[in-house]
Amino acid sequence: ITAIDNATGYVGSAGASCIAGSIILSDVHPNRGVIHTQAYYISANQVYARGLMNLGLSPQQIIDSLVAHDKGNPPNNTIRQYGITDNIGGGRTAGYTGVNCNVYRNHMLGTTFTVQGNILLGQQILDSMFARFTNTNGTFAEKLMAALQGAKVIGADTGCTSRGTSTISAFIRVAKPTDPQSGPYWLDLNV
């Protein structure tokens, strides 16, 4: 999930995977927005997206450019997935799920957040994350945690089904508007 909180100006990100170190997909930009580059992650795509956000491009413009200029060798945008939220005009969101991402794959867009995933048990995982973020009362960080809890189902990431767990790594990051671009962020949990 990528998200902003209009009331506080905080931006945040949360995610989990059956691959260790899932935090790599999170790129937080204090006082601006969040980018998730996931599914066959390569750092060059994330660096490229970061540069576009720093130039002020919209989430959809960033995704369009990422798809057109995939940095893979060979380029293959059909296996990538992106979710981007920024805080311009009360929030803008965009998502992309390549047709060759591992099944089940999809993304959903809210006004101030995106939820996306691949190698999932099914649409119910994204629906649960979306509903929990939307319907949880509490702080922005608590809403991000609620979204993560929405995917706490054995095999939510189907790579973990045989392990009897939902994931093996998870993170939550929240940056205040005054946090430095490269951190430390107000909240930066990586488990």
Tell me which residue has tokens 């995933």. 117
For the segment 31-59, the average pLDDT, to the nearest whole number, is: 97
Tell me what pLDDT residue 132 has: 98
State residue 121's pLDDT score: 93
CB burial string 71-88: b at 16+ within 10 A, e below: beeeeebebbbbbbbbbe
What was the pLDDT predicted at 155? Answer: 86
Residue 44 confidence class, pLDDT cut points 50, 70, 90: very high
The whole-number average pLDDT for the span 57-61 is 98
Give residue-wise pLDDT tens across range 80-117. Answer: 999 999 999 999 999 999 999 999 999 999 999 999 99
What does the pLDDT read at residue 80?
A: 98
Q: What is the pLDDT of residue 66?
A: 97
DSSP state of 102: P
Instruction: Please name which of 97, 101, 80, 95 lies closest in space to residue 38, comparing C-alpha atoms.
Output: 80
